[in-house]
Amino acid sequence: MTPMDTATPQAEWKDSVQPALVFSFVILICLEACIWLRNHGQKRSPPGPFPWPVVGNAMQLGQLPHLTFCKMAQKYGNVFQIRLGNQDIVVLNGDSTIREALVKHSKEFAGRPNFSSFQLISGGKSIAFGGYSTLWKAQKKIAHSTLRAFSTVNTKTQNLFEKHVAAEAQDLIRVFLRLTSEEQYFDPTRECTVAAANVICALCFGKRYSHDDEEFKALIGRNDKFGQTVGAGSLVDIMPWLLTFPNPVRSLYQSFKDLNWEFYDFVKEKISHHRQTYKPEITRDMSDAFISHIEQAEEAGHGLSKDYVESIVNDILGAGQDTTATALTWILLLLIKYPDIQQKLRDEIDLVVGPNRLPSADDKVHLPYVQAFIYETLRFSSFVPVTIPHSTTSDVLIDGFYIPQDTVVFVNQWSVNHDGSKWKNPEVFDPSRFLDEDGQMDRDAAFGVMIFSVGKRRCIGDQLSMLQIFLFTTIFLHQCTFQGNPKEIPTMDCTSGLALKPLPYGMSVTARAGYTTTEEPA
């Protein structure tokens, strides 16, 4: 036998085994690919920056997280993931992505995280901060219908609401004029807060408070601490271990607890008095309406106990006055920053209203530039840049990314209002962007502004707030002129929290001769 004869069986074996090995290897690769596609292709997690141990991405957010989110979106897309402490959080940016999540998948994104700070608000039964449930839906329905009934649904209640706002606006103007005579230039923030709170107090309790009531001013003037605690990226909720030893976060949280207890006790005292004087046949204010509705709901088996009255009123009073007051401080700042726009607004109001009466809600349709100015203020300031954190109630896909149930979600409204592909020169304050070719209000453009959120968690008091802002603005401009302190350059710099608020600024107010129509607050 030759050497060639002895090598032949080995060669044949090798030739037959190698293809089998290669084939098996290919099959294994295909199986692995199928498994990967099943686990990662259909359930692809959002991308995001590298999280550091313990703190995650907390140190990257900066003082204005909404701007950081916009920069991250440029790199990672409109859906990305960050980590704060040991909590994975999905951030949504852009109009189409946010509306797909909050409108198309409204139920899946209707939850709230189980944050400890949220449990302290409104006795743990808050509409704004409470979890998505059958009780929550019943509570929201009652609150929403009552708000509409006392503000915009019928002529009788709307006229009553308008009278409250008009009286408060005129009283606020008198305070402004007094402060101008005493100080020449003053910061209007605190007085705007009192006026906005008084409108809500009048609706809820049938009572208002003087601008000289220091206790009331102190009570409602602590919203900055509230916003710092419950805003997106709040260290209190994402790093609860910080509460175990002395540090600034622990001090802030204690102040937050004290504020909530004090505010809730204030509301409970008012509701207790209402219960003692309540008559089913007479509805004096919203507290009476809530007492009636909640008792009916309780009898109907909806599960709402009587203490939900206090919770609803607490929510409305807290959120209503803060939103309107913040909007008014931005409006006054922009009026003194752009005096030419201020004059153009006043010219339109003079033409429509004249000197012998105050502006009313009926004038709204005839004041398109005023409406455009208000919407541009909301867009430009975007003073609620990131909504109250959401959480998912079930697994959901958004923009092809898999988001599991109970994921915390931040919604970046600022990205919608400052999107260069949506708004021409978004960094420029230009009310005319909300006017069509005929100079009338462009409803489609107005719809594009996102300040009250959308979907199931849209602010229930949005119509109430918008009507207040319109009435305050038009009455201000009808009655007064506003000037800034010439030693200051008006700036859009602000403090960050749940709401963006202007830094303190100085202004003075001058009454317009022949345009003063006096009506005392009720």
- The binding site comprises 459
Residue with tokens 């088996």: 301
DSSP collapsed to 3 states, 383-447? CCCECCCEECCCCEEECCEEECCCCEEEEEHHHHHCCCCCCCCCCCCCHHHHECCCCCECHHHHH
Backbone angles phi, psi at 55, to 5 degrees: -90, -15
Which tokens in the block code for residue 125? 């039964």
Q: Which of 103, 91, 109, 195 is nearest to 414 (CA)?
A: 91
Which tokens in the block code for residue 406? 């109970």
Containing 458, the helix (H) or strand (E) segment is none
Q: Which of 338, 344, 273, 281 is nearest to 310 (CA)?
A: 273
Q: Which residues of 21-43 are buried (b: 16+ CB within 10 A; e: fewer)?
A: eeeeeeeeeeeeeeeeeeeeeee
Under 8 Å between Cβ of 440 and 368: yes
Under 8 Å between Cβ of 132 and 110: yes
Residues belonging to the binding site for heme are 459
Q: Which of 383, 411, 385 is nearest to 469 (CA)?
A: 383
Q: At what angle do helices 339-353 and 368-381 cross, to 10 degrees?
A: 150
